[in-house]
Amino acid sequence: NAGVIQTPRHKVTGKGQEATLWCEPISGHSAVFWYRQTIVQGLEFLTYFRNQAPIDDSGMPKERFSAQMPNQSHSTLKIQSTQPQDSAVYLCASSLDWGLGTSQNTLYFGAGTRLSVL
Amino acid sequence: AQKVTQTQTSISVMEKTTVTMDCVYETQDSSYFLFWYKQTASGEIVFLIRQDSYKKENATVGHYSLNFQKPKSSIGLIITATQIEDSAVYFCAMRERGAGNTRKLIFGLGTTLQVQP
């Protein structure tokens, strides 16, 4: 089991450019989460998919950010017209998404993509 | 709204001692789950231990245990016999059971633990 795979590990964009971040969840996991980590805000929830369907996007900035999960093996987070304040580590996590047991509720995180907007 | 607060920014302890990290939470839900995660220097975030709100017994996994005080909305993480490799950032997190369809976790800002030899 390779764990959650995120690509690229680092991305540098110029202000105003688009950035697309990729996530491959653990095989068999039906839930995918996106978080953003900064020193000031910590781990901020962005959005959550279950069986590829968007369930909760309450943390997504209303403009410029979008997420998709076109199939069960990958999800993307797209940031249009990137701004310096978008610089952060973007983390993807996956989990089983049924039942109340620990295994079903444990989030497994990827290594993250460090986005730097110059 | 959910909120998780970790007031200790950083803690330094000597190896082989016991350390407690504090966490308090706010929720309107009567049933919820509490978690502790660890982020190593490499950036890897791993699950450590979980407490269900309806369970009175404190959870224990290896040298990690919890001090769950429901009336105080408090869930402390206790690490006994600390080792150098326990040096990391520790995050407290919560998920409300009755939060509709979502399973999102809300995290605290973290506590940095440094274990000195």
Cβ–Cβ under 8 Å, residues A118 and A12: yes
Nearest residue of chain A to residue B38 (CA atoms)? A109
For A34-64, the pLDDT digits (tens) are: 999 999 999 999 999 999 999 899 999 989 9
For residues A82 and B67, what is the distance between their CA atoms, to the nearest angstrom?
43
Distance from CA of B50 to the nearest CA of A (A): 7
For residues A113 and A93, what is the distance between their CA atoms, to the nearest angstrom?
12
Of B95, B90, B94, B82, whose CA–CA distance to B110 is shortest?
B90
Give the pLDDT of residue A96. 85
Distance from CA of A72 to the nearest CA of B (A): 18
Give the residue ranges of chain A where pLDDT is below 50: none
Of B77, B68, B94, B74, whose CA–CA distance to B2 is shortest?
B94
Distance from CA of B1 to the nearest CA of A (A): 12
Give the pLDDT of residue B28. 87
A42, A48, A108 ranked by CB distance to B104: nearest: A48
Give the pLDDT of residue A12. 97
Q: How many CA atoms lie within 13 A of B101 on its CB side?
A: 12
Q: Specify the amino acid at residue B77.
A: L
Distance from CA of A108 to the nearest CA of B (A): 7
> Other C-beta atoms within 10 Å of B69: how many?
12
Give the pLDDT of residue B100. 62
Give the pLDDT of residue A86. 97
Which of A32, A105, A115 best probes binding to B when mutated, by most B CB atoms within 10 angstroms? A105
Give the residue ranges of chain B where pLDDT is below 70: 98-101
For residues B91 and B35, what is the distance between their CA atoms, to the nearest angstrom?
8
Helix (H, G, I), strand (E, B) or coil at A115: strand
> Other C-beta atoms within 10 Å of B87: how many?
18
Give the pLDDT of residue B14. 97
From chain B, the residues in CB contact with A56 under 8 A are 101-102, 104
Total residue length of chain A: 118
CB within 8 Å: A59 and B104: yes
Residues 6+ apart with CB under 8 A from A101: none
Q: Does A55 touch chain B (CB under 8 A)?
A: yes
How would you classify the pairing of strands A42-50 and A53-56? antiparallel
Give the pLDDT of residue B99. 58
CB within 8 Å: A111 and B103: no
